[in-house]
Amino acid sequence: MVFAKEKHPVKEKAQPFVHRHANSNSIAILIHGFTGSPYDMRELADFLHNQGVDVMAVRLAGHGTNIEDLMAMNYEDWVLSVDAVVREAEKESKRIFLIGYSFGANLALELASRNPKRYDGIVCLGTSIYWQQRWYYFVLYHLFKLFGIDKVRKPYVPKFQIESWESTGNYADFPTKGLGEFRDIVTKRTQDLLPRVTTPVLILHSRGDRISHPKSSDYVFEHVNSQYKEMFVLPELNHNPLRSENKDRIFNRVARFIEA
């Protein structure tokens, strides 16, 4: 899917993808995080497909191209990115599961809050509500705004890795222009919508997540109104548990949730 406001081509590894299975009765819609790309979800996608699940990976608007495109987008653009894929999935009359990583988990919760009966389950990996070192980002946002700085290099991306990082469609920079809206989305908006979520939910979070505080997932678990909800705290240091040493354990848990 190409978005009207995008001015740059999508990088090859950042293309959305679909894996079909002949006898599947379930579709997993995978949603990557902010500044990420569908590439981040490939290993999980391959695993689920091998388990007999259809997979559709979303590319969020403004992602996987050039950071200038991302800065032209807003929250509804990202919601519509997911909704468009859901509409395609609905044509097949199969069970639909949303699986979101980081900001993708926030979007999964957003979609589920708007129409809970539309989905058979949602999986939230490293949901972002509370940030680690929140004061640091608050100060940076106002400094960047004051000096007209519209993007900044991510401190955890070494210079020698920038090329390989961006070849997958991930951005090595963070757009400060949208930082204020993004901060509002991952805090108040997500908190406000949680009581409207009644879809079964599986929540996973790394204990040592250095970006999104683990209490974010505690908050989700406590405030969704799902009759069935599970939470697993993982002994990882990564923000992205899909890249951890225990990723097979995570993949299996997600597959069991879909099969249940």
Domain boundaries, the chain: 12-132+185-259
Residue by residue, pLDDT tens for the chain (260 residues) are 556 688 899 999 999 999 998 889 999 999 999 999 999 999 999 999 999 999 999 999 999 999 999 988 988 999 999 999 999 999 988 999 999 999 999 999 999 999 999 999 999 998 888 876 554 455 565 666 665 667 777 777 778 788 887 889 999 888 876 666 667 777 889 999 999 999 999 999 888 677 777 788 999 999 999 999 999 888 766 767 777 777 888 999 999 999 98
* Overall pTM > 0.85: yes
Stated as kind and residue range, the H or E segment containing 30 is: strand 26-31
Find where tokens 């409207």 sit: 196
Q: What per-residue confidence (pLDDT) applies to 135? A: 45
**The dihedral formed by the CA atoms of 82, 2, 59 and 74, expressed in degrees to the nearest 10:** -60
Beta strands in 59-120 (DSSP E): 95-101
CB 85 within 8 A of CB 29: yes
For residue 255, the surrounding DSSP H or E stretch is helix 247-259
pLDDT of the residue at 149: 66
Name the nearest CA neighbour of 97 among 232, 254, 252, 224: 254
Query: Rounded CA gap, 212 and 106, in Å?
Result: 12
Distance CA 26, CA 258 (A): 8
Whole-number Å distance between alpha carbons of 57 and 168: 14
Task: State the pLDDT at residue 179.
Answer: 65
pLDDT score at 57: 98
Sequence-distant (≥ 6) Cβ neighbours of residue 140 within 8 angstroms: 152, 176, 179
Exposure class string for 29-52: b at 16+ Cβ within 10 A, else e: bbbbbbbbbbbbbbebbebbbebe
C-alpha distance across the termini of the chain, in Å: 31
Active site residues: 102, 209, 239
| Paired strand residues for 234 | 206
12-132+185-259, CATH topology level: Rossmann fold (3.40.50)
- Distance in angstroms (rounded) separating the CA atoms of residues 224 and 127: 13
Residues 6+ apart with CB under 8 A from 250: 44, 125, 204, 234, 241, 242, 244
pLDDT at 186: 76
